Homo-oligomer: A and B are copies of this chain.
Amino acid sequence: MRISVLGSGTGTNFVAIAQAVARGELRNVDIALVLSDIENAGILARAQEFGVPCAYIPVTNFKTKLEGPPEQAYIEALRAAGTDYVVLAGFMRMIKREMLAAFPQRIINIHPALLPAFPGIHSWEQALAYGVKITGCTVHFVDEGMDTGPIIAQAAVPVHDDDTPASLHARIQQEEHRLYPRVLQWLADGRVHIQGRRTFLVPPGP
């Protein structure tokens, strides 16, 4: 399974995935390409450190979505790399119709909350402000909504009384780094089946 990772930030989830591949914990997965819409994003530097092809593809027509000519540029780069799955890892733009059609049920995202609670940005700050005692992270298929696609896996994370946004975010990220490689292994093994809004994990093959 060839995956390509899209990110706008520091790339901690990319590193977690790349390390899992390097250690042989994530089998039959190749990271084909890393793309970013931010020229100096840490994820591009991390990709170079791991020897993974990477590119900055600017998006100048919209601020919060990937649509139009830049969307086509991303699709072409992903296709040229032989991408089976598009893995969003802190990519701060909404994925729109053309890209969804190019990789149907082949785009996944990780979100730092137990969806459907706290979609959108800074969800750990939303969780603290609401006063929940448990939050977490969610890996889901991407659809046209904001963090609304079918959920593949979730992990719970406790909120502590003395948490700051930073300490809570760090605890969630630890779980993200465990959860994302695990889900990628399920996908590589063909174990994730979608039925409507629900997904099911089928037993591993022989």
Cβ of A186 to closest chain B Cβ, rounded Å = 12
Q: Are A131 and B199 in contact (CB under 8 A)?
A: yes
Question: For the complex, is A133 an interface residue (Cβ under 8 Å from B)?
Answer: yes
Given A161-B201, A200-B161, A133 contacting B151 (CB threshold 8 A): yes
Chain B residue with Cβ nearest A198: B131
What is the bound-complex CA distance between A1 and B4, given in angstroms?
Answer: 59
Residue A132 at the chain B interface, CB threshold 8 Å: yes
Closest residue of chain B to A126 (Cβ to Cβ) is B116
Q: Quick check: A197 and B129 within 8 Å, CB to CB?
A: yes
Taking CB atoms, residues of chain B closer than 8 Å to A87 are: none
The number of chain A residues with a CB under 8 A from chain B is 26
Q: A43 → chain B, closest Cβ, in Å?
A: 27
**Bound complex: CA A136 to CA B197 (Å):** 19
Instruction: Write 23 A-B pairs (CB below 8 A) sorted by A numbering.
Output: A114-B117, A114-B132, A114-B134, A116-B117, A116-B130, A116-B132, A129-B197, A130-B197, A131-B151, A131-B196, A131-B198, A131-B199, A132-B154, A133-B151, A133-B153, A133-B154, A134-B136, A134-B154, A134-B155, A136-B156, A156-B156, A161-B200, A161-B201
Given contact pairs A128-B198, A133-B153, a sample of 16 additional A-B residue pairs in the complex whose CB atoms are under 8 Å apart: A114-B114, A114-B117, A114-B132, A114-B134, A116-B130, A116-B132, A130-B151, A130-B197, A131-B196, A131-B197, A132-B154, A133-B154, A134-B136, A134-B154, A136-B156, A161-B201
Please report A residues at the B interface, Cβ cutoff 8 Å: 114-117, 128-134, 136, 150-156, 161, 196-201
